[in-house]
Structure 1
Amino acid sequence: MHGASVSLRELGKSYGPVPAVERLAIDIRPGEFLSLLGPSGSGKTTLLMMVAGFERPDTGAIWIGDRNITQVAPNRRDIGMVFQRYALFPHMTVAENVAFPLRMRGFPKTRISQSVAEALSLVQLEGLEKRLPAQLSGGQQQRVAVARALVFEPAVLLMDEPLGALDKKLREQMQIEIKRLQQSLGITVIYVTHDQEEALTMSDRIAVLRDGYLEQVGSPADLYDAPATAFVADFIGKMNFLDGICRKLGADCLEVDLGRSGTIILPQQPVASAPPLQQGQRVRLAVRPERMKLDRHDDRKISGVIEAVIFAGASHTFLIRLAGGEIIHVQTQATHGGSLPQEGDRIGFVIPDDAVHVFPQAEC
């Protein structure tokens, strides 16, 4: 099995006056695992349905390898697909479900038997060939759906929130299994999810969509460490936001007035993808909770009152209310021994210069 490149070229799709996808362009490498991530209504499922051939784009083109498949029927695109509800035939056994795509393509019986056995081995379902879907757990049904999508060795596998019906523990197990399978086969995967942790765990790259537009595409680390917009910063991982006004803009620093909460002084070129800042401009600062450091002793830093301390095994998260009313989260590694700040304590915090992202508020 081998993966093919996929090129989405200026794709657009509207339903009446409502645009679902707006002139979107992405190039996906052979064997890459790309997740389409975004909230409900962002256009990710519409985009996947256009690649599958179940929706016709209004504009643009879809290429798989060197083939323009924009007008090609779904069953001739060399694409496998796994849906959230699996879409298994309830009256067919596991083996019959997996064999279905091969029978539709007219494969000989001997080839079908061999391919079904290999596909079930890939997803570790040997011995369950004669069971009906109703006799399987949710995780087993999902594996059958994956085997059925892979059995005819497609160049591209599309997955539309395939783990949404599973409980958290099983979902995490299946994330690892699907990624292992994808890497071992070298198949190209386009994966739709609204779960940011799932996308971060499984993807080589993530395309973040919002209202039909592509906000940013990049590796999980790129999106987490260098979000291009305030929306991406907010949608990927946990983020603190502080609104202020750029009061001073010098050759080597800028000063952001946070009102009653205080002032933050930063290098002139903080971590950001925003256009150059201007004095007097309203801005939004974004900082990851784990990049902030508690500081009991340095009264020059911004401070607040601890409203809650949350223990999460490997970490503590402190919810701190600033003088202006904002609540920020500071995450620290859990330590054994020593006293922790408690609810009601006044505490300062330090923000490393390279941890701050600055966005014009017009973007937010």
Structure 2
Amino acid sequence: MRRYRSPWQVIKPYVTVFDGPLAIIIFLIMSVGIVTLYSAGIDFPGRVEDQLRNIVVAFIVMWIAAMTPPQTLMRFAVPVYTVGVTLLIAVALFGIVKKGSRRWINIGMVVQPSELMKIAMPLMLAWYFQKREGAVGWREFLVAAGLLILPIGFIVKQPDLGTAMLVLAAGLSVIFLAGLSWRVIIGAVVLAAASMPLVWHNMHDYQRERVLTLIDPTTDPLGKGFHIIQSTIAVGSGGITGKGWLNGTQAHLEFIPERTTDFIFAVFSEEFGLIGCCVLLVLYLLFFARGLMIAANAPTFFTRLLAGSITTIFFTYAFVNMGMVSGIVPVVGVPLPMMSYGGTALVTLALGAGILMSIQRHRKLIQS
């Protein structure tokens, strides 16, 4: 006689693929993002609905990634990296130019290959070091540096400094976790500092202007400095408790540029104040802590490197965006994770979160 199964018993195997703590944190951040987007995009009809569709797609991608065993992910590392670099070369040769940047290519649909590298890079490097576990030396680190520099060179050339920074952070975190000596890291930092004049000479004019604007935005208050000045005014005017939801004057009087995407944190800060910012920071820190916990408990060298790198990506996203909006770092066009309007970055981050969940889920399966 067939045993009766409750609806929960039927769907439980499909729901429990999500890591509970991580899923709750993501849900809370996305909820805060939708509430803020409603206010920030009140003059842009349809944005909330579009973002809700993006969230549905992101959760589907997250679920698929969480269901995929890490061993399968490892087999995809080399093909995904190869496809990503090939598409970057194609972009450099005949990519689509928008607003002075060549970042997109039409392959039946318009895609931005540099977004793929945010996941492909840590996958590739984690696979590479896994194959050489126990025998990692100078040669391996040099090869890894070459694998990292190759796509970053194409991304910087587009130019897309924000994405290049994120891919660099993802790759460097894998190399560091693989056992790179602190002396080498300190030496690299000193060398980078010494090469700043050369870097400055080879920067694009708009990149130099961003750095100079960061130092003193009042030199061009109605031009290059407008973004930073208006966003910092919004952040500061929120005070302790904020002006209240839908009551942000900087946003609704259209002083904050890109207020639904890169500068959504300025809208949030103005309306919810220091208390709201602290709550949001706690949510991001909890995500970071959970990611590090998953990395520390991962069963293999590959999964430890991959989980640590993906967690670093989330941290870099949040730090750079909040620093950019607050006037601490130059404006580089990095969205706020899980909050900024847009589908590409959201799906990429959801894929990363799904990989973290896969690592945690399959660790439990191995232990049981």
**TM-score tier after normalising by the smaller chain length:** under 0.3
Larger Rg belongs to: 1
What TM-score do the two structures reach when normalised by structure 1?
0.24
Higher-RCO chain (CA-CA 8 Å, sequence separation at least 6): 2
